[in-house]
Structure 1
Amino acid sequence: MSRPFDALREQLLGAAEALADGPAALPEILAGMVDDVDHALREPLEIFPVCHHSPASALAMARRLREKQPKVIYLELCEDLAPLLTELRNCRLPVALQAFASELEGFAKESAPLSVVAPITEASAEYQAIAYALDTPGVELVLVDRSTDHVFQWQPDVSSSAGADEPQGEDALHGDAVGVEIGDLRPRFAELEEHLLHHGRVRHWSEWWEQYVEQPLAGADHDTYRQVMVMIGSLFRRLAPHDSRRFASDEDRERYMWTRIREHLARSGADRADCLYICGAFHASSRVPEAGSEPGTPDFAITERTATTWLYGLIPSSHSAIEAQFGLAPGSVSIAAAAWQKSLLRTRVKPFSLAGQKKSGRKKAAALPAPAAAGPVIDQLSGYLTGPAALDALDEEELRGWCVDIVRLARRNGYLASTADAIAVFETSVLLAGMRGRRRPTPYDFQDAAVTCIEKETVPGRRDVRRLCEILLGGDRIGQVGYAALPPLARDVYDRLAPLGLNLEQRTIQRALLDLAAQPELTACSQLLWMLRYLLPDQAVRPIMGSRRLGEKHIQESWDLDLGRHQRTIIELGYEGVTVEQVLEQRLRRSAWDPKATAATALKAVEDSLLFLRSPRLTDELGTRAVELLAAERTVDDAPAVLRRIRRLMAHYRATEPALPAWCERFVTEGYAHYCTLLPTAFVADDTGVRQVGAMLGFLFSMESLALSLGCDRTQLELAVRQSHPEAPAKVALLWAARHQLGALPLADLRVRVDELLANPLVVPAVPQYVSGFVQALEPVPRLAPFVVETLSKAFGRLPDPVLLPWLPTLITTLRSQAAELVPVLTREAGRTFPATLAGIDAWTPPWKSRPAPAAGAPAAPAARGGGPAGVLLATHPEAADGVSALLGIAGEWSVPAATVPGSAAADLLTRHSETAEAVAMLINA
């Protein structure tokens, strides 16, 4: 008995014999393609091959569904995404089905999070099938592709699954998710693709497909469409490398899907004549042993899923996101959407659409007619292959409209385009189409012509002409997930921000003005916005006026909100918790208990919890964690951050609470002992910088009084300083400052050491490093600011120019890199030390220089009083007066009692306020 395709097989084998110098495998490939078509059509369960985002496939699917009216539809889509399909009613396409997992079990932890997306567009065959199945009573839709868990199980390295080139901006709506595409028909054989593009005189695969497949099949009948698509899939399948990992994965997918189909047939008892299997044309020509719906066909051993918990939802997608993720030509999906709308008008096919979905004015589809009976298989492939390609004729009205619109759009974007350019684009488009073997210029021909005729040398605005053509021919349509399809967290965000009175679903930046004094009910909105600012990307929620720091309270705030374009990030927050507060708490805990967390990280989490959550329980837990991390640290790299944050937290608690929390006191005592222990090592370690050592000393000296009151021993700090023997100049200066703070190195001795440095020519080149150390010492010993100003002044005054000028750049770069935030302290101190006017410079005497002895007969400087309680006090304790004089850097002798000099200011003051002087003396003596 002859088969429908025997004649075609003979013709192809004859052609292969005529090409005697061709590849030896040519007869097998040509005959195999016919056999694959025959095998697919003889399958009792009808296989419907498709290509993703193909208007021709969508048209053929809409026609076939109305003719056959299947009761069961098997769809090539991840089986665990089925519950999401009903939520498409609440969305505006394109959107993507997403499976998301952040806590992994059975996968490498460093690969988290894992994400799978399956984009859905209106001009796709699978959307037609979904809409038909969900809105037609008695129809069951079964997803048969591998689950999202198996998607990553079958990948050798899930951490690199997103690819090297990740889309950015609007193209990043899918992020680093793995794309699941139905009907991927792009050839796997690079040489084949290059051959097709070269002989088709096109630049990209999308353009070749639109010309040689989309146009001929747009008006083809069902049998012709089905046979041609299976043949194309067979060709790409037989030319693909069979030893590649991807080909083996594709065959496993086919075994998986057929196994699920047979399981459902056996479980439901459905008639195969009432079923339809929708898959990519590549899979429709499968010849694996497990393929087929016969009961005796062997099954594929499906492994168990891992213990990973997958979360599911819908995220907005866009044409550009689909193009970037699946390697399509820019604008190809937009062009396909425009071709879909045009084909509907030309063919008058009534597409299926989900009831309740946001539409652009389309009327509801009419009722389904009676199903048509299936006829015998007829060879439509021979006529399609031997006949001329049915290409569209020139549509002058369409092309003329494109040319006028592109010139208008170009002028709006700064181009000097005119009517002559529109005529040139029209003629060039026709010329390019003729050179490329087609009568009707495609959107790609028009795009090339517009670039050639309008974009001369420069792009005056943000968009080039190619981008303007994409906007003109359909634009980058961006989908949106409806309110009812959002996770609870996203709905809660929209509800809580409703008092702002803004349409947060708009894809434009909106300004929110919050007058918290006049409208205190907006305080909750402000709190939520600050939490979203912490959790979302910078551009989603951006404060214009206002800030959130400890101790600050604003009465007015201004925000730029762009939640419409960042809807995906809000949806993915919903995968982490039910409320924003819960997600924030989880992230703070995760950061504090991360294996790489430090004490500074935990203190930052403590501060964030005070700013955003105001949960005493959580704050105490994070503070306790900070104490544990500090005690376990063996380095002091984060000492500056630790000092800065604990100071800020203690200042906040002292201003708002009656007492410090217990964890804060423990942190001070642990930090005091911890840094005392590490101080000698840090002084001599080469990998420990001056900034870190200065921060350690700042912690020890600034927290000393509190630490001593909590039971710490000051002897531990003194021993640590004595055991420190640094060699680096900057650290030596720090050690001198520490000894001065402890009282072991008076200021006079410190001044002598600096003078010796400036007098030693061998040490002069290292003076900038010593200065850097003294500047860093302003953190633990802020009262050294006058001495540092004195040191710099002496250097500039004493050193000759040949010595001074070479190390000035070193001094500037050292201060800039190591102590930039402390230089303003020196600047203010210099402003207080030096005269403010030029006239005062001549009579100005540096305070660190000794004053000359007073002339004979002149009134002596104020000194000890000869009489009265004050004079008795100073006379009784001259050592204390001398010590204070030395600390202040004032030289002099307490010889002449100033208060006894008649007419002196001191005598007059004590005479007029004798009671005050007596009272102060009594208090001091007591």
Structure 2
Amino acid sequence: MSGTHEGTFQGLRAQLQEAAATFADGPDALEGILLGIVDDVDRAVREPLEIFPVCHHSPASAIAMARRLREKQPKVVYLELCEDMAPLLTELRNCKLPVAVQSFATEVDGFPAEWSPLSVVAPITEASAEYQAIAYALDTPGVELVLVDRSSDHVFQWDARGTESAEPADPAAPPAEEEAALHGDAVGVEIGDLRPRFAELEEYLLRHGKVRHWSEWWHQYVELPLGDSDHDTYRQVMLLIGSLFRRLAPGDPHRVRVDEDRERYMWTRMREHLAAADADPADCLYVCGAFHAASRVAEFGVHGTDTFEIGPPTATTWQHGLIPSSHAAIEAQFGLAAGSVSIAATVWAKNLGRTRVEPFRLVGQAGAKKSRAKKAVAAAEAVPALPPSDKLTGFLRQTPALDRLDEAELLGWSVEIVRAARRNGYLASTADAIAVFETSILLAGMRDRTRPTPYDFQDAAVTCIEKDTVPGRRDVRRLVDIMMGGDRVGQVGYDALPPLARDVHDRLAPLGLKLQQSGVRRALLDIASQPELERCSDVLWMLRYLMPQGAARPIMGERKLGERPIQESWDLALGTHQRALIELGYEGVSIEQVLEQRLRRLAYDRRATAASVLEAVEDATLYLRSRRLADELGTHALEVLSAERSVDGAPEVLRRVRRLLAYYRTSEAVLPPWIESFVKTGYAHYCTLLPTAFTDDDATVRQVAAMLGFLFSMESLALSLGCDRTQLELAVVQSHPEEPSRTALLWAAQVHLGRLSRADLRARCDELLGNPLVVPAYPRYLSGFVHALDPVPGLTDFVVEAVSNAFGRLPDPVLLPWLPTLITTLRSGGSELAPLLIREAGRTFPGRLAVLDTWVPPWRAQPEAVRPARPAEAGHGCALLAAHPATCDAVASLLGCEGTWETADSGPAGVALAGRHPDTAVALEALLAGA
């Protein structure tokens, strides 16, 4: 038998030696490559454990696999797939293909933290050899399926981030950002990865094959010829291609080491299983990529060495599940041309009809016919293994023949694309269908092809129909992709979902919507009449927080602190975003648990700020209604604020503290201890940073204004908790800004503290307007005043006065160039405060044009002089004080006057006090009269 095997490829070796001597300057190098390829094929063919080389998502591989499984009926199937994914494969029967088997880890232990989350996916389509093997093994009694490739943990152990070169992408590959969304940033594990890694080789094949991209070359020169080939021919050709690409691959040390370690890993696992199960290699089948089938490692074969040691996994906890996939996601992730996987699905259906091969499908999956595959397997008889013969020579010499069925198919395509083009706004007619048909044949002839391929047809349709404009959303190339099958999206069934995803669907069941289907569903929640829908509302708001944009989008309704929902309207696309929902299930058993973990992770991140922690506190209160978690995160926010040395987050801190204070004051009897401590610590913290912030170039005027807003608005609460107002006054005194906007902000703070009167502030502004050297910087002063409206809202009327004075006093040559700067300053620096100015201006200025001529601004109106009190008026005031002795005593105590009430004979002491201070008596009388 050995002599027969050794002579199997002798004729091919002789021909290759002759070709090497003819076409090479020296036969050594070329002869070594060509004869080495034959040796690789011969070695793999002679292996006792049958090796079945495949190409991923290849209909020819799937047809050959289905045919071989029915002939050989192996008892053990070894499959090149991550060994830790084995428990998931039985759940494929609950899914609609294509789907992807996924390993996922959010918390890493043994890998760099910046790699998190880790994700490994292996997409599976019906037109793939691996699915045929899985369906056969799972639905055939007595057959064992063993996954032998490295585990998901080892995938990242052997990963070299930033050093490993990526796979070359087809020029026609779709944008990864848009189309690979179903797979995200996952690392793809592709069974049967078969593509040249030598760029010059791929370029040579594309140029001489007269094709645009690799997917088209494979379809034309491998897929179609192997579609009708016998098992030996298919196997030897695939081994030949794998060996060729392997020997011509660039010598990347890391890539070569990973490839060889994978092969050592798989053969080590297979020998371990053969020994443990006492299985006969003749009853086994090893399904792997053609690239790894032509291996030269010492561990190759059932008689290989056992020197490879498999290292232990890290402490990372891996979660496993199934996620939906799509043709476009597979094409984008693995660099295939747009539409290539859809064309492969079409070729698969065509090959099934032509070859009459019965494919394997998991029972119960998406319309699979019950036990039909089982009966076919049971009825077949095992074919004894025969010595392989040389099929390569005949295959390499044969010429493809024209298939009449392809002409009929091409005619049908031409009619259908014209119909689709007319539906999408193109002015296409029957003449265009004829033109597409003839042009497809013409293009195929120009490219030395005996029959047009789908790619030829696509080019012909674009040439004949699209012309120069695209009337609708889809161009002709996209219409051809849709006609060929489109972007088929898979779906994971309810029973295969993780517990969290099933819980979400159960809790949203009262909505009465088919949320597992793709597309957008509108949900209307009338919570006022159906209070039980409030629980659905809670779930939807948590999903909106956790899932990508578009999965749960509120149309009507909002969630605010202290408010209860009444009516809501939602657009839900959970079926479209099924992958994101499934990955939530890897993080916990309920969305409440996942949300709490996310909030903790956000709050305790090393880059967390006081503002981000307060946001987590607000979200915990808003979505979880958890006082326990809010108190814990609030206490942590206090620690983070104490450690901050910048004021970058001051505006956000102020906004969120105000909102939380308003919520707690209206919903609870007492404030939580953490927020009291936060206000007390924040008051001292911002007082300390205030002088530095006024002069720091990195701090903006908005941030300084937010600090003052915190100090002024929280002052009463802080003082009641034991803070000292002197600290704030000293901080303002120590502040000496030079920039105009900050100077104006400081003046506003001094007015609030009583250290600067309005008259003095008005005088300073008049002085600025009167100084020609300062006038160009006046808009920046106004910007400071506008920002001061947050901490000192009482200055709103003064800011209106300052702007009005500028318009009234500045001449046009100065005002007009300065006006755009003023507008841009107000828009960029105080857009949220401008409404205050508008309302105040509307209250101040007259509402009718006729009044404008006689209108006098209130800041220019002369106040009436205070008349000295006449004796009669003083006496009236004294009588009033005598009638209210308690009020008189309080005023006397406030003024620091001491005295006692006299008897009725001598008159009341309050009257004597009022006589000594007539001005005070008159003022007090006016105050009481107004009250």
TM-score for the superposition, normalised by structure 2: 0.91
Q: Displacement, 1:21?
A: 3.5
Q: Which residue of 2 aligns with 1:46?
A: 50
The answer to whether 1:515 aligns with 2:523 is no
CA 1:162 to 1:511, structure 2 compared with 1: closer, same or farther past 3 Å? farther
Q: How many Å separate the matches in 1 of 2:43 and 2:869? A: 117
Cα deviation for residue 736 of structure 1 reads: 1.3
Residues 22, 561 of structure 1: alpha-carbon distance in 2 compared, 3 angstrom cutoff: farther
Q: Tell me the SS of whatever aligns to 2:343.
A: helix
Q: Report the residue type matching 1:96 in the other structure.
A: A
Deviates more, 1:125-134 or 1:730-739: 730-739
Partners of 1:223 and 1:229 lie apart in 2 by: 10
The residue aligned with 1:16 is 20
Report matched runs for 1:559-598 at 5 Å. Answer: 559-598=570-609
For residues 548-697 of structure 1, the aligned pairs below 5 Å read 548-697=559-708
Instruction: Mark the CA change 1:391 to 1:3 in structure 2 (over 3 Å): closer, same or farther.
Output: farther
Look up the match of 2:769. Answer: 758
2:912 aligns with none
Contact 1:394 1:441 in 2 (8 A): no
- Give the aligned residue type for 1:239: L
Q: 1:34 to 1:870 in 2, by over 3 A?
A: farther
Q: Which amino acid aligns with 1:197?
A: L
C-alpha separation in 1, matches of 2:627 and 2:163: 38
* Partner residue in 2 for 1:337: 345
2:146 & 2:370 partners in 1: Cα distance? Answer: 28
2:901 matched residue in structure 1: none
* Deviation for aligned residue 1:303: 1.6
Matches for 1:257-656 after TM superposition, within 5 Å: 257-294=266-303, 297-359=305-367, 364-365=372-373, 366-368=375-377, 369-390=380-401, 392-393=403-404, 395-656=406-667
Q: Does structure 2 retain, via aligned residues, the 8 Å contact 1:110–1:159?
A: no
1:867: how far off? 5.3
Say which is worse superposed, 481-490 or 724-733, in terms of deviation.
724-733
Is the 2:401–2:450 contact (alpha carbons within 8 Å) kept by the matching residues of 1? no
In the alignment, what sits opposite 1:34? 38
2:187 maps to what in 1?
178
Question: 1:99 aligns to what?
Answer: 103
Residues 814-829 of structure 1: pairs in structure 2 closer than 5 A: 814-829=825-840
Aligned to 2:842: 831
Distance 1:54 1:704 in 2: 73
Deviation, 1:40, is 0.8
Give the partner amino acid of 1:540.
A
CA contact under 8 A between 2:363 and 2:371: conserved in structure 1?
Answer: no
Residues 818-876 of structure 1 show CA distances to partners (whole Å, capped at 9, x for unaligned) of 1111111011111111111111112211111243879xxxx999999555449966999
Q: Are the counterparts in 2 of residues 44 and 272 from structure 1 also a CA contact under 8 Å?
A: yes
Q: Matched residue of 1:70: which SS?
A: coil
1:154 pairs, out of 133, 152, 158, with: 158
Cα distance in 2 between the residues matched to 1:70 and 1:641: 66
2:64 matches 1:60: yes
* Whole-angstrom distance in 2 between the partners of 1:54 and 1:18: 35
- 1:129 maps to what in 2? 133
Structure 2 CA distance, aligned partners of 1:94 and 1:853?
87
2:652 alignment partner AA:
A
User: Do the aligned residues in 1 keep the contact of 2:362 with 2:368 (CA within 8 Å)?
Assistant: no
Q: Paired residue for 2:919?
A: none
Q: Cα offset for 1:159?
A: 10
Give how far 1:921 is off.
4.6
Aligned to 1:246: 255
Distance 1:25 1:160 in 2: 28
Take 1:781 and 1:80, find their aligned partners in 2: how far apart are those partners?
A: 64
**Would the aligned equivalents of 2:24 and 2:30 in 1 still touch at CA under 8 Å?**
no
Listed as ranges, the gaps of 5+ residues in structure 1 are: 884-916
Question: What SS does structure 1 have at the residue aligned with 2:518?
Answer: coil
- Residue 737 of structure 2 aligns to a residue whose secondary structure is coil
Alpha carbons of structure 1 residues 731 and 242: separation in structure 2 relative to 1, 3 Å: closer
Identity of aligned residues (%): 71
Give SS of 2:387's match: coil
> One-letter code of the match for 2:462?
V
In 2, are the aligned partners of 1:77 and 1:143 still within 8 Å (CA)? yes
Deviation at 1:273, TM superposition (A): 0.7
Query: What displacement does 1:920 show?
Result: 8.3
Where 1:612 maps in the other structure, the secondary structure is helix
After the TM superposition, which of the residue ranges 809-818 and 504-513 deviates more from structure 2? 809-818
Distance between the aligned counterparts of 2:590 and 2:456, measured in 1? 51
Question: Which of residues 775, 796, 818 is equivalent to 1:785?
Answer: 796
Q: Size of the alignment, in residue pairs?
A: 884
User: 1:395 deviation in Å?
Assistant: 2.7
Kindly tell me: are residues 46 and 303 of structure 1, through their superposed partners in 2, closer, same or farther at Cα, counting changes over 3 Å?
same
Structure 1 length normalisation: TM-score?
0.92
Aligned-residue CA RMSD in angstroms?
A: 2.7
CA deviation map 1:446-474 (0-9, x unaligned) = 11110000000011111110110010011
Partner of 2:717: 706
Instruction: Give the conservation status (yes or no) of the 8 Å contact 1:132–1:352.
Output: yes
Q: Distance in 2 between matches of 1:349 and 1:766?
A: 85
Distance in 1, matches of 2:200 and 2:405, equals 32
- Contact 1:216–1:390 (8 Å) recurs in 2: no
Distance 1:390 1:922 in 2: 112
Q: Are the structure 2 counterparts of residues 627 and 195 from structure 1 closer, same or farther at C-alpha, using a change threshold of 3 Å?
A: same
Once the two structures are superposed, residues 161-216 of structure 1 have per-residue CA deviations (whole angstroms, 9 ceiling, x without a partner) of 98999723343211111111111111111111111111211111111111111111
Query: What amino acid maps onto 2:341 in structure 1?
Result: V
1:840-879 equivalence runs, <5 A: 840-851=851-862, 866=874, 868-869=876-877
The alignment partner of 2:425 has SS state of coil
Secondary structure in 2 aligned to 1:678?
Answer: helix
**How far off is 1:803 after superposition?**
2.3
User: Does structure 2 retain, via aligned residues, the 8 Å contact 1:111–1:158?
Assistant: no
Q: Is the 8 A contact 2:513 2:521 kept in 1?
A: yes
Q: Secondary structure at the match of 1:183?
A: coil
Shift in alpha-carbon separation, 1:185–1:392, aligned structure 2, 3 A: farther
Shift, 1:248, TM fit: 2.4
Structure 1, 197-206 or 23-32: larger mean CA deviation:
23-32
Deviation at residue 20 of structure 1 after TM alignment: 4.4
CA contact (8 A) 1:870 1:921 kept: no
1:416 alignment partner, SS class: coil
For 1:922 and 1:532, how far apart are their aligned partners in 2?
60
- Report the AA paired with residue 108 of structure 2: L
Partner SS, residue 538 of structure 1: coil
Q: In structure 1, what is the Cα distance between the partners aligned to 2:609 and 2:235?
A: 62
Alpha-carbon distance between aligned partners in 2 of 1:217 and 1:391, rounded to the nearest angstrom = 15
Unaligned ranges ≥5, structure 2: 170-174, 895-923
The corresponding residue for 1:911 is none
| Whole-angstrom distance in 1 between the partners of 2:426 and 2:706 | 58
1:263 shift after superposition: 1.1
Q: Deviations over 1:599-640 (max 9, x none)?
A: 110111111111100011001011111111111111111111
Whether the 8 Å CA contact 1:394–1:440 is kept in 2: the answer is: no
After TM superposition, the structure 1 = structure 2 runs for residues 899-918 of structure 1, keeping only pairs within 5 Å, are none
2:782 aligned with 1:767: no
